[in-house]
Every structure is written in C-alpha cells, then in structure tokens.
Amino acid sequence: MAAVTLSLVQPPCSMCFAGRRLRSVIVIQAQRGNWSKMRFSNLFFSSKVWKITYRSKHSFPDNLLEQVEKCANARLETQSKLISKVAALMEYDDDDVFDQKSDKQVKEELESACKRFPAISLGYSRPVELYSRNKFSEEANRSILKTPNENSFLPTPMPVGWLDPDSLSGTLSSFSPEPLMNVREEISDGSSFTVQTATSEVETTPEEEDSASAQLFLSCTIGSMPGLSKRQSYQLDTCGFHTMRKLLHHFPRTYVDLQNAHLDIEDGQYLIFVGKIVSSKAVRASSSFSFLEVIVSCEVTGRDQNPENLSCNADDKVGKTFYLHLKRFFRGARFTWQPFLNSIQEKHRPGDFVCVSGKVKALRAENHFEMKEYNIDVLRDEDESSLSAQVRPYPIYPAKGGLSPKFLSDVISRALRILPTNMDPLPKEITTIFGLPSLHDAYIGIHEPKNLDEADLARKRLIFDEFFYLQLARLYQMLQGLGTKLEKDVLLEKFKNPVLNSVYIEDWSTLSKSFVKALPYSLTPSQLSAASEIIWDLKRPIPMNRLLQGDVGCGKTVVAFLACMEVVASGYQAAFMAPTELLAIQHYEQLRDLLEKMEGVSSKPTIGLLTGSTPTKQSRMIRQDLQSGAISIIIGTHSLIAEKIEYSALRIAIVDEQQRFGVIQRGKFNSKLYGASVISKTGSSDSDDTTKADLNMAPHVLAMSATPIPRSLALALYGDISLTQITDMPVGRIPVETHIFEGNETGFKEVYSMMLKDLESGGRVYLVYPVIEQSEQLPQLRAASADLEVISQKFPNYSCGLLHGRMKSDDKEEALRKFRSGETQILLSTQVIEIGVDVPDASMMVVMNAERFGIAQLHQLRGRVGRGTRKSKCLLIGSTANSLKRLNMLGKSSDGFYLANIDLLLRGPGDLLGKKQSGHLPEFPVARLEMDGNMLQEAHIAALKVLGDSHDLEKFPALRAELSMRQPLCLLGD
Ligand SMILES: Nc1ncnc2c1ncn2[C@@H]1O[C@H](COP(=O)(O)OP(=O)(O)OP(=O)(O)O)[C@@H](O)[C@H]1O
C-alpha cells in the first residue's frame, strides 16, 4: 500500500495542496471500505467521511490509518493535531473539531509527535496555513496573474481536491491517473507553487514595473495559473507546456466555420445553438466509467427550403425544435462517486438557457443530434441569447502529448481571460507602422477570433514577432561586436541602404587591374559593380559579411578571385573554400591559368591547394607556408578551417554557400586572426591603409550562393548579411533549350537520337542519374553505374565516363578531366556535378527520372551546360506522365530566381536548400517562410529601426528581456 509522507515544513501554499491530496487519499482509501477503522473524536466528522465513502470498496493506506488509530489512544493534543489535519481535509474548521491550544502545548505536542511518527516531519508552520484552501496561490503569483477578471476564473467551488471533470475528462484517457501514485511527489513538492519565471535577468525601473510584470506574464510557470489543479498543471508541464507562453503558443490547427443553427442541419457541421436545458443526467455506467448527458432543446426558425412547400409565402418562417444530446464521458473510479455525479449534474439545471457550440452528429431519431465535443455557456436570461449566438470561427486544436484538444482549449481559454493588456514588448510605434495588433489582441485573435480576418491579423502579428526577434538578435549581436557608436550607425545605415558604395575600377589595386586584363573576356556590368561593391567593403576596417548571389553560370567565381587579388595587394592572405574537392581543384586550376596569363606584375600571388586528399607531407608544407605567409591565396575544402591551420595574415574568407557557411564556421575563421608580425611575402602593398587596428580585425567573409535564394530565405538564413547580386549573364550566352520527355520507349528513342545528333556535331553530353546503383526497392530508377554498359553499347563510337560520390577523389578528378579535355564525350554522373562544375564545351544535359529532383536543383543541373558559346540543350526525362507537369515549368522559364520562388512555394525551403542547408534554417512555429517571406523583410526593417533608436536596446528594456528569452545567444552561434 502506498505510504504517505506528509511534510509540515512546506510553504503554506504547497501545504494547502498537500492537504488536499492527503484528503483525497483518505477519502479514496476510506471508500475502499476502511472508513470503519478510522477513529475520530468528532462524531459528525466521522459520519461525514462515512457518508461520502460508504459505497466504495477501496482500502486505506496502512500507515495513515495506523496513525489515526494510534491517535485515538494518544494524548488529546496529539490526537487533535492529526484530527485537525483530517478535519481540514474534509473542509471543517479546526474549531469544530478540537479546542485551540497554547503555543507551549503545541510545541510539546510537536516534539512528541515527531518521535512517535517518524513518517511525519513536523515543523512550525501554523496548521491553519497548511489547510487553508483560500491560500491557493501566493501573493506574488497574483501580482503577475491578477486581472480584473481573475475571480471568475478561480476554481469553481467544487469540493476541495476533487478534480474538475469538465476540464479533465479529455486527459484521462491518455494518462493513467492513479491518484495514489503522485501523492508522495505532489505533497513533497511544494516549491512549484511559488511563482517561477523562466526569464533571464530583466532590468526594469520602478515606473516600468507594472508593464514589466505584465510582460513577465508569458514566462510564468504553468503551475502559477489560477484555477488549475496541481494535477492539471503537472500534466500540462509534462506535455511541454511549462510556461504561459508555451500554452498560448499552442495555436489552433485550423478554424471551422461556426454557423448559427439553421433548419437543414447536416451531419458533421459546426453549429451554434441557443436553447433550454431539458434534462441533465450523470450516470455511473460501471465501477470505473460514468457519463453526463445533457439534453438541450433548441427552437430554430427559418425559411422552409422544402420545394413541396414552395406555395407558401416567401416571408413565412417555419420553426423546428432540435434536441441536442451533449455527452461527456469520464473514466476512472473517482468519477463514479455519487457526490461527484450529483455535482456535475447540478451544473446543468433543467430550464437554464444555454448557448451550445460544436460539431453535430445526427442520431436516429429525427431532429435529434449528438455532440461529444462542445462548448456550453449558461446565459443569464433569454434576452442574452441573441448576443451569444454570433457566427464565429471555431478553433480546432491539435492534441499534444496525450492532452485532448478540448482540455487544451479550455485551459487556453482560461489563460486568455487573465491576459494582461499591457504585455507587449514591441514599441507602439512599430506596431502602428506595420499595422499590427497588440500582442494581447493577437493572442485573443488567434485563439478566439470573432472572424477569420481577425485570426489572420493575429497570425500576421505572431509571424512578425518570430521574424522580428530573429532579425533583431542577429543585428544586435553584430552591433555588440563593434566598438564605437559611429561604427554601429554606419553599419545600420549600410543595411538600410544596401547598395550604397562602390570603388571605381580606377581605384582598384594594380594587381586587381592586371588580373582583369588577363581575363579572356570582359566582365559584365553586373560583375563589375559586384566587384566594386566588395572592394569598397574590403577597404574598410569593419569585417565584411556579404553574400554574392547570381544565377547559375553568371560568373561569380571571377568576382571572388578579384576580391582575393585586392586583399593580396594589401599584403594579406585569402582563403577560398569550395564545397567539394572537385570544385576546389577546378577553381585552383582556373586561378593558376589566369595568373599565368597575368602580365606586368612584379610578384604574382602564390597559390596553394589543400583538400582532404592532399598527402600528409604536402599538406604539412602548405600549412607551414600559410603560417609564414609564403602562400597568399589558398583554395581548398573544409580543411581550410581545420584547427591546425594557422594563417599569417588572413583577410578574406570566400565560401561557396552550397555548404551553408553558418555563423559557427564564420566564427572558426574569426579565430584564425592573423598575427601582426608576419605579413605575406607578396606584400607589395599599394595601400597605406594598414593600421594597427586592422591587424586584429576578423577576416571579411564573402559567401557565394549558386542557388538563387529568394531574399526572404537569405534574410532568414543570415539576417545580418549584405547582398550583392549578379543579374546579367556573360555576353554571347545562348539560352539552353529545355525539352521534357516521358520515360517510355518513344521518349528514350527520341532522347537517344538527340544525343547522337549532338555528339556527331562535336558536343559533349552529361547524363545525370538519381542513384548510383540499381535498387530493388526502386526498380523504376535508372542508375548511373548500371547504365554505363547500356549507354556504351548505344553509342559505340563515343567513349563514356562515370562520376559519382562513392569514387575515390583521384578517380573523380580523372573522370572530370577526361570529360573536360574531350577524351570522353559522355559523362554518366549523379548529382555530384550539380554544383559549380564548369566544362564550357559541354552542350547537352540529360536528366533521368527528373521528377526526383527539385526545380531549383534541375535548374542548377541545366546550368552545367550553355556555359560556352555552343548552343546547348537540356533533356528532362520524367518517369510518368504525371510528373511532366512540374517539369514543364523549367521549360517555360530560365530565370533562377523565379524558379527558386516556385520551388519554395511548392516544396518549402528544406527542398530548395537541400538537407544540409535547410538544417540551419530557424524553425518558425506559425510562419511558413515560403508564404510569409515578405513579412521577414518588414521585420528586418523594424529591427533596423529599433536598433537605430537604441543600439543596445537600452530604451526598450522589455524588448531586450523578450529577446534574451527568445534568442539565447548560444543559439546564434559564434
Ligand atoms: N564576363 C564573362 N564573359 C564570358 N565568360 C565568362 C564571364 N564571366 C565568367 N565567364 C565564364 O563563365 C563560366 C561560368 O562562370 P563561373 O563558374 O564563375 O559561374 P558561376 O556563377 O560560379 O556558376 P555556378 O553557379 O555554376 O558555380 C566560366 O567558364 C567562366 O570562365
């Protein structure tokens, strides 16, 4: 049997609960038939226990009974002490049961009781505090949760300790609510009844106290919410609703259109009725199951829609009486007690006017409907009915952790009643500018909207908050890293007017100018302005953080090379990090060739290549050269940020954003601050800007995105980054022709014939497959390895190569080299070639099972061809006729940004960015980046405005507190 440990040294509030629990235990155990063992000095009290419990057959916890029994033979004071407990549990005043004693007597009694009942540790709290049910929550609790409406949401005056069936019924099925199991824990855990806030330090002045405490509301623990039983708060807490914020952020999944009842009710409709209770019956169905059935009769009037009655006057209204059977079920022995059943039955009195809303289910009898999930409000009089039966959206909540939607909606509704109106941390100015409701109204609007527009506006505000705090945190963190107010102002200004500054080519370094001269083509206007913008940044003593965006094949790499040249010209080092080894090698070779062609430069930059496959000895030498400054541009993969790598004077890190170079990696580059002593050997510095302050500056970061990321996504991913876009294509590019085929016999026949034609005219063909090996699970997928033989046989006059991720690095490079040089004319590959592979002579891209790839991905693949002057084609083969629809979109547009936006809408950001990158996207509970991207930009502007007004948010303490709560700095990386 469960042992009960009662600690009397608990805080008063918890004692009150401990008492209630103990009472429950006594009642339950007495119900089990042990009531007769109890000895009480007060006969009336004894009979009360008997009355309540006579029907039941439970057993009493031994030790408690023993104590009570022993008490009967003990001294009067000891006896009365225990009886006092029980009496209070049974809601009687001490005075009814025993006489008041002097302090001395009490003290003596306490000491002797401690000896006699080791299971009970007695303290010095006044018993009355322990049992006073009025001290349900603490004063501090109230100071935060108090509102004018509060009283109406305090617990209904049911017998103390009894569970409110209305709110608990839903939870019972999923929890095993064995009341005894939690007794020890609940009694001993008194601390949870004090107000606990999950806030970090919040600094407020006395004047702000009021609003600050209102803002703290959201951080109050769920246990501090008035009107919840300890059990309910425990259940809520266990299911993740630790704070009021968590609870209020359990948003409705959807809303159904709640309409006023009409004459032609259909099964499954959500309707509102106003009517009169006809009967209310609570029935004990078995020893552990009971139910309540309330029948409400409702008169509904309206025009008769029956065609047979069309002869009637159109203005004539007819009436019908509907009977609603509202049913609620209770599982658990304690819900079968007659007093409990009486109490719930009495809550709904026949004759009461009520407003009922919920989903109807037709019963067999005509005009009779059942409602299992419903809301019922008792109206004061019949006149109120017209007011109550207003059409409104009916929120449908998702269940969570076993808590039923009904229970959650009830608790949320209670929380809304005590929501302070002045809880909004956002400055009023911001909400006004962006036309947003206050936070209070947003919570009300999302949970209990009067109409769908209100719900929509509320959602807008909540989305705005999600985006706003993300932006604010990122910008705030950046500002913290800057020293002077001026620097901060300049940075914010730069974000407000992003395309602000650039350096004309005349002012570029000699090295950069010579590099431009060495190019076999002239830069496009877009490339020029991108390079100028970047070079302007490079000349400033603030670390650059820029994203270079441009459609596939637009020529981003050469712009990045120019940034390297500029840095090297100032006597510093540059690191260029590629996502794959293949690309690192490609960039290295491209740069090496261009440098070779460079003329009129006394000392050319020295370059190095470092990847995971670089032999140990060689990599050691490269590391040494980096440390000494002998290498001025290093190209490689992730190995560039390995711990052992030390740079002598790293000034810029260029990163291909395919790998989503997050703040954490950026931090790694930051940790590679160069030592002031060593300056790169190429230091033919034509800039005198190098100051001492420069030497300790974190490197500039230039990220390159081959995926044209819609601006909203870029903001969500980076927030703090400046954008540079290349919007034009090199001159002479011929748009790639896109053809879509169904992967049937005819389709393939046509594809092969087009391939042959292209090969005959000297072209080179990529064949891209979704998988390397054929799989039994997905036999419809063509596999690169398996197809090598088939294709070789089909095109016997041409040689085929194979390239996939499982090959060794050398083999991959060899396969690509052969294809680039023309030794092989057909390259069967997986999507490893999707990123950055540049073979200008390739003229045809064939994608097998194209529906397996995202639109943005296919656009990237298509970008592998048409990079030279040859007319190129892209053939997309869909497995089924159905899959062709989506592929057709590619046929219609070659604009990467347009396609990326479509992909974002169709498949969400995860697919657009690929698993690796989308893993870095923040999670937004209500916002969908693909739908709400515009709001992100508004939030960005708002964050800039707020920080512009107060760099460290000193003017907005509430906002700062909220920010620290929402965005712990550890989440922001670095
Ligand atoms: N202004 C230009 N005129 C002609 N050709 C150019 C120009 N700029 C770059 N190129 C060439 O265009 C091809 C593609 O350039 P690059 O690889 O830099 O593109 P990218 O934007 O990085 O593409 P991807 O997104 O595929 O990585 C290269 O062969 C490059 O030499």
CB-side neighbour CA atoms (13 Å) of 34: 20
pLDDT at 929: 58
Rounded to an integer, what distance in angstroms lies between the CA atom of residue 51 and that of residue 41? 17
Residue 272: strand, helix, or coil: strand
| Whether the CB of 554 sits within 6 Å of ligand 1 | yes
C-alpha gyration radius of the chain: 37
Rounded to an integer, what distance in angstroms lies between the CA atom of residue 614 and that of residue 804? 20
Tell me whether residue 130 is exposed, middle or buried, using C-beta atoms within 10 angstroms of its C-beta: 0 to 12, 13 to 18, 19 or more: buried
Name the amino acid, one letter, at 169.
Answer: S
| 557 Cα: distance to centroid of ligand 1 (angstroms) | 7
| 867 Cα: distance to centroid of ligand 1 (angstroms) | 7
| Whether the CB of 582 sits within 6 Å of ligand 1 | no
DSSP state of 30: I
| Whether the CB of 550 sits within 6 Å of ligand 1 | yes
Element containing residue 724 per DSSP (H, E) = strand 722-726
Cβ–Cβ < 8 Å for 18, 130 = yes
Q: Residue holding tokens 């617990």?
A: 155
| 552 Cα: distance to centroid of ligand 1 (angstroms) | 8
| Whether the CB of 557 sits within 6 Å of ligand 1 | yes
| Whether the CB of 728 sits within 6 Å of ligand 1 | no
Nearest atom of ligand 1 to the alpha carbon of 554: 21
Alpha helices in 419-524 (DSSP H): 428-433, 439-447, 452-480, 485-496, 510-518
β-pair partners for 845:
766, 874
| Whether the CB of 555 sits within 6 Å of ligand 1 | yes
| 829 Cα: distance to centroid of ligand 1 (angstroms) | 21
Nearest atom of ligand 1 to the alpha carbon of 553: 23
pLDDT at 755: 93
Rounded to an integer, what distance in angstroms lies between the CA atom of residue 560 and that of residue 928? 33
Rounded to an integer, what distance in angstroms lies between the CA atom of residue 355 and that of residue 381? 11
For ligand 1, atom 3, name the residue with the nearest CA. Answer: 730
Q: If you count DSSP H runs as helices and E runs as strands, how many of each does the chain have, helices first? A: 36, 24
Rounded to an integer, what distance in angstroms lies between the CA atom of residue 862 and that of residue 834? 9
| Whether the CB of 524 sits within 6 Å of ligand 1 | yes
| Whether the CB of 869 sits within 6 Å of ligand 1 | no
Pairing mode of beta strands 270-286, 353-359: antiparallel
Rounded to an integer, what distance in angstroms lies between the CA atom of residue 956 and that of residue 950? 8
| 844 Cα: distance to centroid of ligand 1 (angstroms) | 17
| 727 Cα: distance to centroid of ligand 1 (angstroms) | 13
Q: Taking CA 536 as the corner, what is the angle to CA 530 and CA 538, rounded to the nearest 5 degrees?
A: 105
Q: What is the pTM of this model?
A: 0.52
Rounded to an integer, what distance in angstroms lies between the CA atom of residue 473 and that of residue 960? 9
DSSP state of 522: P
The beta-strand segments (E) located in 659-799 are 700-705, 722-726, 737-742, 764-768
β-pair partners for 403:
400
pLDDT at 594: 92
Nearest atom of ligand 1 to the alpha carbon of 527: 1
Cβ–Cβ < 8 Å for 714, 547 = yes
ipTM above 0.90, yes or no: yes
pLDDT at 766: 94
| Whether the CB of 567 sits within 6 Å of ligand 1 | no
Task: Quick: pLDDT tens for 371-429.
Answer: 887 878 777 655 555 545 556 677 778 878 778 777 888 888 888 888 888 888 888 88
Cβ–Cβ < 8 Å for 806, 739 = no
Low-confidence ranges of the chain (pLDDT < 70): 1-215, 256-259, 303-317, 380-392, 481-483, 494-503, 657-697, 706-721, 836, 900-934, 967-974
Residue 283: strand, helix, or coil: strand
At 775, list the tokens: 């799989």
Task: Quick: pLDDT tens for 245-260.
Answer: 888 888 887 776 666 7
Element containing residue 422 per DSSP (H, E) = none
| 696 Cα: distance to centroid of ligand 1 (angstroms) | 34
Short-list 559, 564, 571, 565, CA closest to 533: 559
| 509 Cα: distance to centroid of ligand 1 (angstroms) | 23
| Whether the CB of 730 sits within 6 Å of ligand 1 | yes
For ligand 1, atom 12, name the residue with the nearest CA. Answer: 555
pLDDT at 581: 84
Residue 729: strand, helix, or coil: coil
At 221, list the tokens: 């623990």
| 763 Cα: distance to centroid of ligand 1 (angstroms) | 19
β-pair partners for 575:
634, 653
Query: Which of 516, 766, 838 has most ligand 1 atoms within 8 Å of CB, for mutation?
Result: 838
pLDDT at 568: 92
Nearest atom of ligand 1 to the alpha carbon of 836: 27
Element containing residue 550 per DSSP (H, E) = strand 545-550
Cβ–Cβ < 8 Å for 647, 627 = yes
| Whether the CB of 190 sits within 6 Å of ligand 1 | no
